[in-house]
Chain A
Amino acid sequence: MSAAERKTMLLTTPFHSRVEQYCELNDWGAWQGYTTPNSYFDVELEYFAIRSTAGVLDLSPMNKYRISGPDAQAFLNRLVTRDVSKIGVNRVGYAVWCNDAGELMDDGTIFHLAENDYRLCSYMRADEWLEWNALGFDVTINNESDDIAALAIQGPVSCTILTLIGCEGLNELKPFGIARFDFEGVEMMVSRTGFTGDLGYEVWIDPSKAEALWDQLFEKGRDYLIKPIGSHALHMARIEAGFLQAKVDFVPAEIAVRPGRTRTPLEMGLDWQVDFNKPLFNGRAALLKQKEEGLRYRFVLLDVEGNKPAEHSFILKNGKQIGIVTSAAWCPTAKSNLAFAQVEMPHGAVGDEFVAEIYYQRELQWTRLMAPCKVIDGPLFNPPRKRQTPAPAH
């Protein structure tokens, strides 16, 4: 069915004919207007493909904006809090952006494709916000979300498999680097990026070659135990890696309804993303003021005792509620019970100890568990292979 024929039905991605074949559990979810698998065959095994072999995620629905023109860099520097001039050509940078009140709107990645030519990938749709911010800048902004097919290939053998489909010398690509290869006569762009905290890549290609790319990956990757992964497995990996997710770990300012529910980057542990050396960017004055006057909240990672994930838990200090958990999971590779929490200042220094008030249900009965927990300075999952160049073979 073409996009036009589907009318208001959820769209399918350029990989759908293949995804559908592999989706043995018929477990579909919606993502930016597209239908994509929550799981393919077994969430646990899909997660472990990311950590032990290679997992393939169809990320075509991701919001992608092409930003080009003489003022492209100046525009982006006005938009996001970090210094975009530090992202060289053929490099990718993580970025966050705020409104004028310094409230966090979204996070994403900026791909520096060529001189004056960038791609911004965002979690939230940003057509309107980008258009407003472009006023006065000589830039063209084009929503190319539907025009590019993309796969994430993540895991210890990801480099080996991509090399087999023609990405010669990929192992020399540094983290956050971009390389280009020929794939059946069209350009295939590969970035060493991902949302799993592991060795991994994202592959970007014209939709006409999507099915051929999938077929080659799964054919050449078979001996390396390549597996498709759905959004549930990705969710486990991203928590274990300590990555934030908009709408889960913070409320994007644009959609927040209740007063006080937004957070600033400084309150989300993203101060390393805010470059006050830049003379002007959205939210600068408000963030500077907050920096001087003090934060309201602090984002922390907690190592929680026991094996019950502290999902939706209250965080207590001396019996008083001082915070909430936004994401939590038992991490199957790190074997740790990790929680992301927002705690009121001045709490939350590394080493601070709290109690997580955990509720879990078994056979209808709810149990309340008071689990001691401790602020840690980073996720326990942190394998050398995610940084190593050349990338290891497995």
Chain B
Amino acid sequence: MNKYDAIVIGAGHNGLTNAAYLAKAGLKVAVLERNPHIGGATVSRELYEGWYYSNCSYVSSLLRPEITRDLELPRHGLQVVPFGGGATFMQNGDHFGNYSDYARKYREISRHSKRDANAYERYKADTSRQTRLIRPFLLKTPPDPTSLKLRDLKDLVDFAKPFINMGEEGLLDTIKFWTTSVGDYLNEYFETDVIKAQHAGSGIIGTALGVYSPGTAYVLLHHYMGDVDGNVGAWGFARGGMGAIANALSKSLQSFGGEIICDANVDRIIVKGGRAKGVALKNGDEYHADIVVSNLDPKRTLLDITDERDLPKDVVQKAKNFKIRGSSGKLNIALDGLPTFDGLDPKNPLMAGDLHFSDSLERMERAYDDWKAGTWSKDPYVDMMIPSLTDPTMAPPGKNMMSVFVQYAPPKVEGREWTDEDKDGFEKSVIDQISKYSPNFRDLILHCETRTPREIEAEVGLTEGNIFQGELTFDQLLFNRPFPGYAQYRMPIKGMYMCSSGTHPGGGVMAAPGANAAREILYDLKRPNTVPGSYADD
């Protein structure tokens, strides 16, 4: 009883994906979830009757299409519906509309600057070049650059080839891109504040860095490298909310005979003779398996549920030093109608896209200054969506559900824990911000769920509420993720693995870490691989 071939800790999307591929290979697998519901940060809940909130992650683009197809997620109920464009509302009453149709986008940029409309073409080509470089590596294990194993050497050559093919100038551009700030990157193309601000948002979301911090250009790429049906950079909603992704993954897992056990709070990984042997729950129950996979972030995995004495000291140190800083919060709001925004026709399709109020890099950088000072931003950057304008199942007819991702919110307020008063203050700053641009917004609010890093950490278990399970800076990417020497999903304890967003290729609802880890586990078990390869990109 309670004996499995593999145990996966945490029923987030990566844990479910990992378990599905192990089960598909014939392993007897159980996923243990501490909450009464599955999904982790890929979840939707009816917290106000008739309204469904995707409490944490709220849009989908990175979910690997190879996995969606291979695990037959559409048959298990998943439908991802793209949305078109978005807008940034300006302090002067105007707005910038980020139309998905190129001809209209050109006209709209021209309305602000003809020169920028032209420069956009160069921006798009340069950014696409970087996107093409990274996409083929998402469903691959990062090669170890210090290893002399044939497998690593071969992968390293594959990894280096596209870089070499770029030529000297391309390579220099790439090195610069991977290390520069999103602000500096955008300044090389655009002259108009609002156009820079519209594009800079993707460089800071989920990151405790400002638009002028080095490394944020890569974060922009992280938001551009996904796709919806091959439209690279497009984003969409999972019909029924992000929880539909976790639900479809769980059905796929179960179709292969895998089990999911909720209300199973793991206390520690059982290690005997240097080998993982299972897990013990907080209630004393034990589950035994020779393979234990953690979908918790690297800190929780190595510092909370693993006995430090079972680990090499350098790994404990690396886990302690892993950068996973809280930077964001979220408001989920039930609305009695449709909020209107100055200057934008409520019927405009942009209303169904991502909406923002930060119209300059300057304002975005000031918002970051507040975070550095240990408080939430007084003039916050928001990534605001009204999913009920795309998906009629999110709210009753004529009503709306609004998801407001907010940056910045510090993990601690002036060095101390968040209090309920702090949370109210944070909520007020966001609602005030939206109300400045939407006269009817405040009166439409029926219910609001506010989540600071404190709530996100307490419920989902993301350390400091960091949505990516660790900063996406170059020192923590590819063969550096989570730390050098441990980027191939294997932990120093034999039979123990990590499959979370804290591993390559990082956060976002991608399912790639879970799949990549499964491939490595099956390799170690000398079992046939069940994980699909990447689609040829072009």
Interface residues of A (CB under 8 A from B): 24-25, 41-42, 44-45, 48, 51-53, 156-157, 223-225, 306-308, 330, 332-336, 360, 362, 367, 369, 380-381, 394
Contacts and interface: CB of A to CB of B under 8 A. Distances in A.
A380 B74 contact: yes
Contacts of A369: 536
B392 A394 contact: yes
B398 interface: yes
Interface stretch (B77-85, B108-116, B211-219, B407-415): B77-85
Contacts of A307: 65, 230, 535
B74 A335 contact: yes
A306 B536 contact: yes
Contact of A362 (B234, B392, B538): B538
Ranked nearest first, the 6 interchain pairs of A and B with the lowest CB-CB distance are: A223-B398, A223-B397, A332-B229, A307-B535, A52-B81, A48-B81
Interface in B64-81: 65, 68-69, 73-75, 79, 81
A335 B65 contact: yes
B72 to A, nearest CB: 8
A249 to B, nearest CB: 23
Interface string B360-396: 0000000000000000000000000000011111000
A388 to B, nearest CB: 15
Contact of B84 (A45, A332, A334): A45
Contacts of B81: 48, 51-52
B82 A48 contact: yes
A380 B349 contact: no
A330 B535 contact: no
Contact of B391 (A41, A44, A52, A330): A52
Pick from B81, B391, B535 the residue with the most CB of A within 10 Å: B81
A333 B74 CA distance: 7
A332 B82 CA distance: 10
A52 B390 contact: yes
Given A52-B390, A335-B65, 16 more contacts: A41-B101, A44-B100, A44-B234, A45-B349, A48-B81, A51-B81, A157-B392, A225-B390, A307-B230, A330-B229, A333-B74, A335-B73, A335-B74, A367-B538, A369-B536, A381-B74
Interface in B176-235: 228-231, 234
A42 B103 CA distance: 11
B277 interface: no
B367 to A, nearest CB: 31
A204 B104 CA distance: 34
B239 interface: yes
14 contacts: A42-B101, A44-B228, A44-B229, A44-B234, A51-B81, A52-B391, A157-B392, A224-B392, A224-B397, A306-B536, A308-B536, A335-B65, A335-B73, A362-B538
Contacts of A52: 79, 81, 239, 390-392
Nearest to A334: B74
Contacts of A24: 104
A20 B391 CA distance: 26
Contacts of B79: 51-52, 333
Pick from B69, B75, B100 the residue with the most CB of A within 10 Å: B69
B75 A380 contact: yes
Given A44-B82, A52-B239, A225 B389 contact: yes
A53 B535 CA distance: 30
Contacts of A157: 392
Contacts of B398: 223
Pick from B69, B81, B392 the residue with the most CB of A within 10 Å: B392
A42 B68 contact: no
Interface residues of B, number: 32
B71 to A, nearest CB: 10
Interface in B125-173: none
A381 B72 CA distance: 11
A394 B103 CA distance: 33
Contacts of A380: 74-75
B184 to A, nearest CB: 28
Nearest to B66: A307
Given A335-B74, A369-B536, A42 B84 contact: yes
Interface in B82-118: 82-84, 100-101, 103-104
A333 B393 CA distance: 17
Contacts of A334: 74
Contacts of A25: 101, 103
A40 to B, nearest CB: 10
Contacts of A362: 538
Contacts of A225: 389-390, 392
Pick from A45, A224, A334, A360 the residue with the most CB of B within 10 Å: A45
B97 to A, nearest CB: 12
B127 to A, nearest CB: 16
B349 A44 contact: no
A41 B353 CA distance: 14
Nearest to A53: B392
A94 to B, nearest CB: 25
A222 B83 CA distance: 17
A77 B75 CA distance: 39
Nearest to A42: B84
B100 to A, nearest CB: 6
A339 B219 CA distance: 37
A176 B83 CA distance: 32
B392 to A, nearest CB: 5
Contacts of B397: 223-224
Nearest to B397: A223
Contact of B100 (A42, A224, A367): A42
A335 B69 CA distance: 6
A271 B245 CA distance: 39
Nearest to B349: A41
A129 to B, nearest CB: 40
A42 B349 contact: yes
Nearest to B346: A222
A215 B68 CA distance: 39
B536 to A, nearest CB: 6
Given A42-B101, A51-B79, A394 B536 contact: no
A48 B538 CA distance: 25
A88 B228 CA distance: 43
A141 B73 CA distance: 49
Contacts of A156: 392
A52 B392 CA distance: 8
B225 to A, nearest CB: 15
